[in-house]
Structure 1
Amino acid sequence: MGLFPLLADPPVFLVALALALLGLVLHNLFQAYLADRYGETAPRRYGFLSADLRVHLEPLGLVFLVLLGFGWPRPVPTHLPGRKGAFVALMGPLGFFLAAFFYGLLARFLPYPFGEGLGVAQRLMLLHAAIYLFPVPPLDGAKALYAVGGHEARRFLDQLSAYGPIGFLLIFLVLSYTGVTGAVVQGLASLLGLLYRAMGL
């Protein structure tokens, strides 16, 4: 679980960790870019359109990334309502998915330790893309639903939010151990396979 097993192979560990951090930054950049295009000023004002790691990375999220293989960046400050807000939220999982696509592509051509590290990072990005799609606060899927959902949906999400990080971790563990997360990851991996085959790879 997490990146700890890779400590036995430090070069692969470092490559995978660096690429996972890049994936977290890409998640934020995708959201910040679209929010900026929609006229939201906060992402640019707080530096989220830059690649400054100090802006994007959150220490506790990095700890969980190493321990569990799932982390999180600082949230991009956006308050767009309706479909615009939903589109901005869903840009985050899209950023993870595109990172997984390019990591898997490069892994086919680069030697050790880059190929192996890219392969690990691809799996991590698929996991993040899958989890962030779930409508569980504070994930992007919940933000998208909150933006376009009705009163009942928002009230339900507010109730889930009231349980805080403990509630999120419990839901995360349940989804993982019941195979729901794995099924979504496998679906995204199959989509990647289709894209690679369409490219003749």
Structure 2
Amino acid sequence: MTSDTVEDPDAALGEDRSLLIVDDDKPFLTRLARAMESRGFTVETAESVEEAVARARATPPAFAVVDMRLADGNGLDVVATIREKRKDARTVILTGYGNIATAVTAVKLGAVDYLAKPADADDIYAALTRQSGEKVAPPENPMSADRVRWEHIQRVYEMCDRNVSETARRLNMHRRTLQRILAKRAPR
């Protein structure tokens, strides 16, 4: 086992293993739900802020994984609702649009960790079960700077509904430069 995972997962999970996963990316949501069920969680899912808040109010989960940006609002509203209903809940924020201000806000609202997408099930499980004060081990194979840049460009491109001109404008980049980047394969 790696040093960033808990030796006894049952001790980290406790008796209540309810987990709410909130993400508007249906394939990712389905994969993560299956992966977390195989790790001992009782999983509920939601694809919107409205649905997640309703679930959290009805049955506050012991654990939650919440995407920061959802189609109908901000995942921080879900974190706040969970924290209001259940002070001991362990919530992890996932985001493709990370910045320091939202990370600080997420932690102030009660999130125990803030992970950048793409995060895998092992990273999420480790964040949910990590004991307070336990240090996070550095990643074995961190993404290269080129890959991080490419991922960011792809997210903005998707956010702009795959409109090259709008994406180039938002990234303050020449349209042709962006077209060349989009035509290439993803760096490793």
TM-score (norm 2): 0.33
TM-score (norm 1): 0.31
Higher helix proportion, which one? 1
Structure possessing the higher radius of gyration over alpha carbons = 2
